[in-house]
Amino acid sequence: MRILVAGLGIIGGSVALSLKKAGYAVDGWNRSRRAADYALEKNIVDNIAADFSVYDVVFVAMPPRATVEFIENNTFKDGAVVSDICGVKKPIEAAICAKYRNFSYVGLHPMAGREISGIEAACDYLFRHASLIVALNADTDKTAVAVIEKLAAEMGFGRIVECSAEVHDRKIAYTSQLAHVVSNAYVKDGDLECCLGFTGGSFQDMTRIAGVDENVWSELYVLNKDELSQKIGSLIDSLEEIKTAVESGNEKDLAQILANGRRLYENCKKIASDGDICVKKLR
């Protein structure tokens, strides 16, 4: 099986490293030569690809618009499996599935990452026990999905989560994008300065992802603007409720509001499958 990873940042580099650790030969390609040279020098990839049409499996680990441009403007092997690894799924799926393709497209999103970026941050254990979301539609090829699931298990993923692109984007707006928005907003308080000696685990948890690449995340936010805007609005409503209770000085009302949040959190701490989501454990 010939495998290509196009886009050699932290995610693409980690895909390549985890596949190589599993025993596969993996070639790479990147828009800038610097990352490609680094990946080749550090044995993250075996070769730099020149002809994309010779690969059986292609992972595209670029920002959404660059991903669509890459897939639209290149030729792939008949019957190849071509998967994007983007933080939004609806716009990618709509573009790729708008016309006939000679390859099988499978939309993916690994639930793993770090607050730092770049090929230098890639590692072969990034996906260990993580979830891999597979976005399915009526035209998704089951054989292609089986190929991806086999590779995912060998890369160290702990579970496959199957859902539609619509469900993915709604869930990710809450579990990922909103968290990054909150972190960015949180550090804009004037008391951020001179915090030495006043911070503990909660501060670290809240601020850890405030320093991510604004260009990468602004594209993701805009491409998922309807879902993310709704989640931001819901959060504002919840904050206003807490703010009102704090200002009133009524501890009983405030405790009830906080207890409602605690109960909701405790009730959700389980893996659940329903009609929209299917979870498959790999390990």
Q: Quick one: average pLDDT of 269-273?
A: 63
* Model confidence pLDDT, tens digit, residues 86-102: 999 999 999 999 999 99
- The amino acid occupying position 49 is A
Helices (H), the chain: 10-21, 33-41, 64-72, 90-96, 142-155, 165-172, 178-186, 201-207, 214-223, 225-248, 251-268
The pLDDT of 48-66, averaged and rounded, is: 97
Average pLDDT, the chain: 94
Coil, strand, or helix at residue 169?
Answer: helix
CATH for 3-163+277-281 is: 3.40.50.720
pTM of the predicted model, to two decimals?
0.93
What span, in angstroms and rounded, lies between the C-alpha atoms of 90 and 273?
21
Does an H or E element contain 32, and which? none
Q: Which superfamily, per CATH, for 169-268?
A: 6-phosphogluconate dehydrogenase C-terminal like domain (1.10.3660.10)
Other residues' Cβ atoms within 10 Å of the Cβ of residue 25 = 12
Question: How would you label 206-239 residue by residue, b for 16+ Cβ within 10 Å and e otherwise?
Answer: ebebbebeeeebebbbebbeebbeebbeeeeeee
Residue spans of the domains in the chain: they are 3-163+277-281, 169-268
pLDDT of residue 282: 87
CA angle (37, 40, 41) in 5-degree steps: 85
What local confidence, expressed as pLDDT, does residue 283 receive?
A: 67
